[in-house]
Structure 1
């Protein structure tokens, strides 16, 4: 499973000061226990350390805790083949995070400060050994089960009760180590009748409240044996939107790669944006437009979802609301998904060159 609450010891915290209109920064060092020391402890000792790391000293009763008024980012740092560490496209996360905060009508965290803090955060924790060690065996499966640093920048409001907008928000960056995202033993995607986002809502920002319905719908899908759920549009209920926490792509019989066009109901995924760029580099025709259930049932030969946590994850089949199931290809990873996965992960982990300069190096490698 991808996520475990094994937080790293050093956390970044910034708070907006309405008087000075500046962000006051601090580094919260819960302990100086190295990764090797942590792993050498018995279970009770380790739990005590990890529980303490989750006490960050921010208010409990807030707009965020009471009303899910908040936003966050998902971003990754990667151990590279040459022994270094790099963060993938942090400038894009910075821009989306600032846009989310503006969408919540609170002060936006400066993008340059976001990137600088992210790099320093990884560097400080890396000094204590909190970076997965590169494993050459990951290359055999194009890094499908490889480990990485999952960074979670998030916004939390000041202490407050009563519906309102934050004037002095906190920004926190924490992290844990993750591997494969989707649960093993489940298969295929299913369309849900639940609605993730409506026009003029918050679907286009990475808002905390958006993920309540996602958690419920995905749980329902898993109970039926599916690995993922997929949403349709809120108006006509016939066009694809996205998955529970990822964007969705289809490969048509003529080789065209299609994905739902962005709007105020779909999150502009950074992996989505990267996959589109990589596909175009490969000469693959890409279309961002409305994609209907009927079109996919008649013309699609591949389906995959993309996201920071999900990477590029093929869906073997898709089942609609009436129980009609479409199997893509032979039910295994299709050639387009495989090719794009190789290019994306290869660049993230330093196996391949990075011509687009997407990786921000934190710890230089040996080359």
Structure 2
């Protein structure tokens, strides 16, 4: 099974730069490679050297506004192997929209959505033609695809060369792909703890999927893990009272009254695509879904199930939340019926085992 994230980049990559005439100059680049079987049989040193050659982009400037000041954004989406042998993308139109809006939010030219979709499809297709893709396994269905593999697609922006504080007028867009498995270990602890670190403030970049937003969450998550927890939960920056996000995912709470609550975006929380999808699936089940402020005290007293969503996380249950020495354990520390249903339905749609009623899956 593939690890959560790996640097085993597939051979074909994509890059494009915004030119003086307002066009995007695109190219696909084929990196050094052998057959998938030959690469799997390589010793560790040889494989590391090969992956290093793929993770080299000499056409991109090293000293620039991204490397020096974090002026950059990225996306994450997946191509899923289907029961019929094909590959399909999950809601890439929303990733394309969010990527353009993120770039524009950083005051750089936005990458056109139609180019995003075309480039993502083409890079997956070119790598598939070389044999670089996972194959559907029926056994994945036994645990709701918790151990299933897919193709992770990472588009990101990179600025032109620069050393002083500045914005980007001629950004690059790069797209790479890599095999990916479960982000959270489905067999490990899934405890969460609140952090007093602040992820985002009003009038900031919380709503943008930008590089800098992941510095503080990474620190918070590593601090939580050092204490024996899987996840860190952020509270609002003003009162340290209301739930906002996990370290890299949106949070959901099923309450005793049967309603499903997720924090309102309020220009600080990332508008997750799996977040929106789960909200729709819950409504399909007749569940009352609320986007609103939810305090940590309400979670500790009223929540019966808790889970997080994200491209990497999928739907991952949280067994408990700890805040200032108080701990709420949900469903005796086991995945709840509602969470399991959301996991089964969402993953089933993504892997083609459930009917795609909303037209979320796109052909490669």
Deviation of 1:360 (Å): 0.8
Structure-2 residue corresponding to 1:332: 334
The separation in 1 between residues aligned to 2:358 and 2:144, in whole angstroms, is: 20
- Decide which moves more: 31-40 or 174-183: 31-40
Name the structure 1 match of 2:358. Answer: 356
TM-score by length of 2: 0.97
Distance across 2 between alignment mates of 1:230 and 1:296 = 12
> Which residue of the partner structure matches residue 43 of structure 2?
42
Give the C-alpha shift of residue 361 in structure 1: 1.1
Give the CA RMSD over aligned residues.
Answer: 1.0
Aligned counterpart, 2:291: 288
Of the candidates 100, 110, 125, which is equivalent to residue 102 of structure 2?
Answer: 100
Match runs of 1:215-234 below 5 Å: 215-234=218-237
Task: Answer whether contact 1:12 1:172 (CA < 8 A) is retained.
Answer: yes
CA contact (8 A) 1:187 1:315 kept: yes
Alignment of 1:41-190 (within 5 A): 41-57=42-58, 58-183=60-185, 185-190=188-193
**Distance in 2 separating the partners of 1:327 and 1:243:** 17
Native 8 Å contact 1:33 1:128 kept in 2: no
1:318 paired to 2:343 = no
**C-alpha deviation, 1:32, in angstroms:** 4.3
Question: Does the CA contact (< 8 Å) of 2:33 and 2:50 recur in 1?
Answer: no
Aligned length: 360
Q: Give 1:283 deviation, angstroms.
A: 0.8
Whether contact under 8 Å (1:257, 1:285) holds in the other structure is: yes
* Candidates 246, 249, 252, aligned match of 2:252: 249
Deviation at 1:46, TM superposition (A): 1.6
Other structure's SS at 2:331 match: coil
- Contact residue 259 and residue 289 of structure 1 kept, 8 A: yes
Contact 2:301 2:328 in 1 (8 A): no
SS in structure 2 at match of 1:330: helix
Cα distance in 1 between the residues matched to 2:239 and 2:44: 52
SS class of match (1:313): strand
Deviation at 1:156, TM superposition (A): 0.5
On the 8 A contact 2:261/2:289 being kept in 1, the answer is yes
Q: What's the CA shift for 1:227?
A: 0.4
Matched, 1:265 2:282: no
Contact 2:91 2:360 in 1 (8 A): yes
Residue 190 of structure 2 contacts residue 317 of structure 2 at CA under 8 Å; is this kept in 1?
Answer: no
Q: Which secondary structure does the structure 2 equivalent of 1:342 belong to?
A: helix
**Matched position secondary structure for 1:222:** helix
In 2, the alpha carbon distance for the partners of 1:52 and 1:173 equals 16
Give the conservation status (yes or no) of the 8 Å contact 2:158–2:171. Answer: yes
Question: 1-side partners of 2:70 and 2:217: how far apart?
Answer: 14
Give unpaired runs (5+ residues) of structure 1. Answer: 363-367
